[in-house]
Amino acid sequence: MARRKMVAGNWKMNMTPENAVSLIKTLIPLVQNEDVDVAFCVPDLDIIPCLEAVKGTNIGIGSQNMYFEEKGAFTGEIAPDMLTSVGVEYVILGHSERRSFFAENDETVNKKVLKAFEHNITPIICCGETLKQRKQGITLDLIRMQIKIAFYNVSPENAKKAVIAYEPIWAIGTGVGARTDQAQEVCKAIRDCIEEIYGDLVAKEIRILYGGSVNASNAHDLLNQPDIDGGLVGGASLKVDFGKIVNYDKIQTESN
Ligand code: 13P
């Protein structure tokens, strides 16, 4: 079975609820592509109004983080059932901004991944290297380690439902994305790593996205790579350009 493409927007810390609804309403007609799953991962306060705004469409709403406990004295955190009770389908876990600014690490990512599956939330699990690590030649080793720890104790039935996002840190928000061959190389290495852990069937089914300065000009080439199943889009998901990324298959480029 061919993997369905997915394009998810990560709004990061942008958009008041009012602005969020207005942006969603602008984007709904632009993100229609029956071959692509579309989701917006929005700030938690925007979740409920955004869910209202996407009612009747096939757009999913996700959170950008979630805690690995059920409830209790964890000031400032959000629990899985708070998300599922209102209809959240996805959660981004282990984004590099959470790792670098909020002390997230591979172990906490793993706990959150396990908890997300317990609650039937699809995790979008992020991994990626710094420029220094790339220059040191350790990109693939590092990514394999991030993936192996994130998936520790995750069953094959759950693993195949996960979404992985390869986001090289040097490509995030810089306007300089990875070249298609660089993105494809790492996404393939991730799929090979999943195959090593779970075998061929899970590796064929799991979706691997690329993220880092995805825009309307590079989406077509990136999303046509054999191991890239879509994009996790930051800055461009706040603009009408997001519609062009979702419709990457209709963009005409020199290569088609
Ligand atoms: P940009 O698309 O703004 O580079 O951000 C990518 C990202 O971090 C998505 O999670």
Residue 116, domain extent: 5-255
What's the number of domains the chain is made of? 1
pLDDT one-digit tens code per residue, 87-118 = 999 999 999 999 999 999 999 999 999 999 99
Which residues lie closer than 8 Å to 1 by C-beta, 6 or more apart? 205
Residue 170 pairs with which residues in a beta bridge? none
- Is the model's pLDDT at 44 over the cut of 90? yes
Reported pTM = 0.97
- Is the model's pLDDT at 254 over the cut of 80? no
Q: Is the CB of 214 under 6 A from ligand 1?
A: yes
pLDDT one-digit tens code per residue, 24-37 = 999 999 999 999 99
Looking from the CA of residue 215, the nearest atom of ligand 1 is 2
Q: Is the CB of 202 under 6 A from ligand 1?
A: no
Catalytic residues, by residue number, are: 95, 167
Do the Cβ atoms of 138 and 129 come closer than 8 Å?
A: yes
Average pLDDT value for residue range 56-70: 97
Q: Is the CB of 172 under 6 A from ligand 1?
A: yes
pLDDT one-digit tens code per residue, 195-223 = 999 999 999 999 999 999 999 999 999 99
CATH number of the domain encompassing residue 12: 3.20.20.70
Residue 145 phi, psi (nearest 5): -65, -45
Of 161, 64, 72, 144, give the one whose Cα is nearest residue 112: 64
Q: Which helix (H) or strand (E) element contains residue 39?
A: strand 36-41
